[in-house]
Amino acid sequence: MPSVDDPASVRYARMRWNTPLSAEHADLLLQRLDIPAGGSVLDLGCGWGELLLRAVTGSGATIGVGVDTDQSALARGRRAALDRGAAQVSFVRQAAATWRRPADRVLCLGSAHALGGTAAGLATLAELVEPGGRLLFGDGFWERTPSPEAVKIFGADVLSLPDLVELVRATGWRVLHLSTADQREWDDFESTWRAGRQEWLLAHPDDPRAEGVRDELDTRLREYVTVYRGLLGLGYFVLGR
Ligand SMILES: C[S@@+](CC[C@H](N)C(=O)[O-])C[C@H]1O[C@@H](n2cnc3c(N)ncnc32)[C@H](O)[C@@H]1O
């Protein structure tokens, strides 16, 4: 865990990755992605690139590139690559929408917004997967008709799962695999999102920043259990074309 004196630096410290996904579910997705030894893997909006690192080191891919705009996430990814001797994985600070170099396998999990949204992202990603390649795409969807409060938080562009599947097909992709995050993956995601700063709060109750951190964590937990728990879904697609 980074410096426990700074609540900002521990924000993501307890998260394996920044998406509701168990390690077992991730293994299944990477298996379905079928990454060829000697191939290349690109992760757009990679965060700290934990899934990218597992994808590359577990497959014998020889090139892995993670692209994100968050400096501290990229620094965490570079440290992890160094620790694991994964010199074939590099991290680039760049807006995902400006990336042009294709790869054999592309990951884009929870980051379609960085490509202009779901529809624009699916179209852009088609240009970035080499012919015969595959895309692992993770995106939110409504499990049922959303409340106005939920739309206010997540925006009007979130689709139902059937509509998301139709959009994927209409953009020219074939669905090789589809699975969704279950309730425990969501609960763990939300809990680990809060945990870094929750632990900081318990250790620093009188810090001048404590009130602001407490408010943010309480608001998020309240919104989760009252507005979007069981309503917002996350779909994982392995796609080919
Ligand atoms: C929900 S997180 C997902 C991170 C990662 N894919 C994962 O599963 O752990 C979304 C990521 O998109 C990144 N992001 C936001 N805008 C971006 C942009 N314009 N270009 C590249 N990355 C961006 C954020 O910094 C963040 O790391």
Distance 211 CA to ligand 1 centre (A): 27
pLDDT score, position 1: 45
Token representation of residue 3: 């410096």
Single pTM value for the model: 0.96
Q: Give the 3-state secondary structure of residue 12.
A: coil
Instruction: Return the residue whose CA atom lies nearest to atom 13 of ligand 1.
Output: 45
pLDDT in tens, 105-119: 999 999 999 999 999
Q: Which two three-digit tokens encode residue 96?
A: 């995902």
Alpha-carbon distance of 105 to 103, in angstroms, equals 5
| Nearest partner of 104 among 152, 59, 54, judged by Cα | 59
Burial class (CB in 10 A: 0-12, 13-18, 19+), 20: buried
One-letter amino acid at 119 equals A
pLDDT of residue 182: 98
Asked whether 150 and 228 are in contact (CB, 8 A), the reply is yes
Q: Which residues contact ligand 1 via a Cβ below 6 A?
A: 17-19, 45-47, 67-70, 73, 95-96, 109-111, 114
Write out residues in the chain with pLDDT < 70, as ranges: 1-4
Measure 111 CA to ligand 1 centroid, in angstroms.
5
What is the position in ligand 1's atom list of the atom closest to the CA of 19?
Answer: 8
Which pLDDT score is estimated for 21? 98
| Residue 5: per-residue pLDDT | 72
Which class is 26-181+231-240 in CATH? Answer: alpha beta
- At residue 8, the pLDDT reads 85
Three-state SS at 140: strand
C-alpha to C-alpha distances, 153 to 63, 149, 223, nearest whole angstrom: 37, 6, 9
- Torsion sign (Cα): 118, 122, 124, 125: positive
Q: Are 41 and 81 in contact (CB under 8 A)?
A: no
The 10s digit of each residue's pLDDT in 177-196 is 999 999 999 999 999 999 99
In 48-204, alpha helices (H):
50-57, 71-83, 118-128, 148-154, 161-170, 183-203
The whole-number pLDDT of residue 2 equals 46
Of all protein residues, the one whose alpha carbon is nearest to atom 15 of ligand 1 is 114
Ligand 1 atom nearest 67 alpha carbon: 21
Q: What is the pLDDT of residue 4?
A: 60
